[in-house]
Amino acid sequence: MAPTLNPEAAPVLLETRGLSVNFNGFQALSDISLSIRQGELRVIIGPNGAGKTTFMDLITAKARPSAGQVLFEGQDITGKSAAEIARRYKIGRKFQGPNVFDNMTVAENIELAIAGYESLPQSLFFRASAAFRHRVTEILEQIELADYRDFMATDLSHGQRQWLEIGMVFAQDPKLIILDEPTSGMTADETKKTGEMIKKLKGEHTILVVEHDMDFVRQVADYVTVFNFGKLLVEGTLEAVQQNPEVQAVYLKEAD
Amino acid sequence: MPRLKKVRQLPLNRWIDLALFLFLLSFPTWQNTYWVYIMSGIMAYMIFALSLDLLWGYTGLMSMGHSVLFGSGGYMIGIASAWANQADWIKFDQLPWFLALLSSPLGAFLAALLLPGLIALFIGLFMFSGKIRGVFFSLITLALAGIAELFVINQSRYTHGDSGITVTSRTLFSNADSQRLTDQQFYFVVLAFLLGSYLLCLWLVNTRTGKVLQGIRENESRLTYLGYKPAAFKLFIFVLSGMMAGLAGMLFVRVQGSINHSSIGINLATLVLVWVAVGGRGNLTGALIGTLLLQFSETKLNSVFSGISADFAQYWKLVLGLLLLLIVFVIPRGLIGVLLDYQQSRQDRDRKAAIMQKEVNRHGANP
């Protein structure tokens, strides 16, 4: 097992203060304050409709909070555009359900995701260097798709498409990696491989994962946050959280 | 050997492009002047179809009023020529300030490129900053084609209204009556522009920008979360496509020797959609082949059937409509699309076999 980082030692990378959002009268999230330290792998769990995905939407500017702040490296990023959050603050997100460029090859998907050439002139006069091509191959090997580089993304299996999107997030070289249900629809074998992919990044990258699959959570997580009905229920190590009677009542029982 | 492998991996349609250009290059040597003249017009239309393929096939922006850009380029040359030759319907002594550029031949050439570019810029700024996309983009462009048609009919002071403008100078720059290239000579002018436009498109779609454009077509919001700003790319391709359409319009007017409102309106806007849809979107070849096939058959069939019925043009539209329906239902990716799908599936089969073989070898090595 990778050495666990002392959560108190590293500086805080992402912090939310009193984050709330209201969709036409429905309080999807209320008063979420949590912080994630550099190098941490944090898993958010909670039953359906607990507001996990909404929380990620607020961080990546897919939705706007009705109250509260998102701080990244101490800077307030609430209200910034999605492109700016991806490019300037380097937060990469994998969406729920594979969200890739279907009628483009696997390699093209990864190439587009590699950061640093997002403006029009940059992309117009871009020429792939040997280092760039090497990086593409490296990522493809990381997500076990090296043999599939010339396939269209649409022709991959569901699990492989999930990996492809995970690879796209790696390619962005983000400071914070957000993975929304990375193993949904995967076979047990694929789920295990995904867990290994993510564990390899532990320590070097800061990762925030939302997940339903408890086997997967046990495999990767050491620090867990539980959401329920849009509120932060409890935080702690996986062992401590599993012991918590409140958590057992709302979530773990029905998931297992 | 890797070079040879690269050639073999080349998409099939690039060979078709090569064959097509060789065919076009040799065409005047074995065809009479009439067909050389017809083919010049078709080649101008091919540039127009390429410009739509960049926008629709690659970027996923289905412009249903692309003729606005084609026609505005064409009308610039039309008005410049009418002015230079003092056509009898011209009632003004001086070009108004907004047409002043048309007094010089080079100015008219530039105006035919810049006006469509500017129109595309303004429409694009309005639509892409307002996040108008999908079917709304199509409907607004369609409406613009209708408006443009009425506009040129109503502005008869400058456009000669319903009757359109006759252009007698067939040269690259000059609008004066006296200078005129032969049909053969002008054929090669159009061919050179077609080749240039094709190479520009081929280069562009293979750059990273080209991939971003395809990314917009496939999944625009995903691009945003990768840090791109799709609006800038859409504006760029719309303006470039508009200028190419303007170039096509300018060449077409010089070949045809006239322009009227149907070249700026819904009629041509629909035709070009059919050419690209039948040939196949998003591979350049489809736009070229679709235009060639349909325009060639129209001319050929017209000459065959005109003896039987004077209303052939009406029936041809019916045939086109049925053909479009058939294509959409049977081969939605178009003729060239089917060919490319076939090549892709064969290559996939080989790759899958290679992957299986690799698995077998690995398990064989450590049982």
> Domain of B299: which CATH number?
1.10.3470
Give the pTM. 0.91
**Which range has highest mean pLDDT (A6-10, B211-215, B254-258, B338-342)?**
B211-215
Q: Do B348 and A99 touch (CB under 8 A)?
A: no
Q: Do A123 and B218 touch (CB under 8 A)?
A: no
Q: Do B208 and A119 touch (CB under 8 A)?
A: no
Per-residue pLDDT of chain A (256 residues; tens, 9 = 90+): 344 555 567 889 999 999 999 888 888 888 999 999 998 999 998 888 888 999 999 999 999 999 999 999 989 999 899 999 999 999 999 998 789 999 999 999 999 999 888 899 999 999 889 999 999 999 999 999 999 999 999 999 999 999 999 999 999 999 999 999 998 888 999 999 999 999 888 878 899 999 878 888 888 888 899 998 888 888 888 888 888 888 888 765 555 4
B2: confidence class by pLDDT, cuts 50, 70, 90: low
Q: Residue B227: which of A101, A118, A150 has the nearest Cβ?
A: A118
Chain B residue numbers touching A92 (CB-CB < 8 A): 225
User: CB under 8 Å to B6, separation ≥6 — which residues?
Assistant: none
Joined tokens for residue B70 = 């084609």
Q: Residue B219: which of A82, A93, A101 has the nearest Cβ?
A: A101
Q: Check CB contact of A96 with chain B, cutoff 8 Å.
A: no
B367: confidence class by pLDDT, cuts 50, 70, 90: very low
Q: At what angle do helices B230-256 and B208-224 cross, to 10 degrees?
A: 140
The distance of A220 to chain B (nearest Cα, Å) reads: 25
Output B321-328 pairs: Cβ under 8 A, ≥24 positions apart.
Answer: B323/B274, B323/B278, B323/B294, B324/B274, B324/B277, B324/B278, B327/B277, B327/B278, B328/B277
Closest CA to B263 of B86, B107, B113, B65: B65
Mutant choice from B208, B209, B343 vs A, greatest count of A C-beta within 10 A: B208
Higher pLDDT, B132 or B241: B241
Chain B residue numbers touching A124 (CB-CB < 8 A): 207-209
Q: How far apart are the first and last CA of chain A?
A: 24
B365: confidence class by pLDDT, cuts 50, 70, 90: low
Chain B residue numbers touching A150 (CB-CB < 8 A): 347, 351
Q: Do A155 and B218 touch (CB under 8 A)?
A: no
Chain B residue numbers touching A82 (CB-CB < 8 A): 224-225
Mean pLDDT computed over every residue of chain B: 90
Residue B31: helix, strand or coil by DSSP?
A: coil
User: CB under 8 Å to B281, separation ≥6 — which residues?
Assistant: B53, B56, B57, B287, B333, B334, B337
Residue-level pLDDT at A2: 43
Give yes or no for a contact between A21 and A29, defined as CB atoms under 8 angstroms apart. Answer: yes
Q: Do B226 and A124 touch (CB under 8 A)?
A: no
Q: Give the position of tokens 């939407």.
A: A57
Three-state DSSP string of chain A: CCCCCCCCCCCEEEEEEEEEEEECCEEEEEEEEEEEECCCEEEEECCCCCCHHHHHHHHCCCCCCCEEEEEECCEECCCCCHHHHHHCCCEEEECCCCCCCCCCEHHHHHHHHCCCCCCHHHHHCCCCCHHHHHHHHHHHHHCCCHHHCCCEHHHCCHHHHHHHHHHHHHHCCCCEEEEECCCCCCCHHHHHHHHHHHHHHECCEEEEEECCCHHHHHHHCCEEEEEECCEEEEEEEHHHHHHCHHHHHHHHHHHC
Give yes or no for a contact between B129 and B121, defined as CB atoms under 8 angstroms apart. Answer: no
What is the domain extent for residue B360?
A: 2-365
- Ordered alpha helix ranges (H), chain B: 2-9, 12-30, 33-52, 67-84, 105-129, 135-154, 156-159, 183-206, 208-224, 230-256, 266-279, 285-305, 312-330, 334-365
The distance of A30 to chain B (nearest Cα, Å) reads: 25
Q: Do B348 and A155 touch (CB under 8 A)?
A: yes
Q: Residue B26: is it exposed, middle or buried by C-beta count within 10 angstroms (0-12/13-18/19+)?
A: exposed
Phi and psi (nearest 5°) for A229? 50, 45
Chain A residue numbers touching B348 (CB-CB < 8 A): 151, 155
Residues facing A202 on adjacent strands = A205
Residue-level pLDDT at A252: 53
Q: Structural domain tally of chain B?
A: 1
Q: How far apart are CA B270 and CA A193, in angstroms?
A: 51
Q: How far apart are CA B295 and CA B267, in angstroms?
A: 14
The distance of A97 to chain B (nearest Cα, Å) reads: 12
Dump pLDDT digits (tens) for A70-95.
Answer: 999 989 999 899 999 999 999 999 99
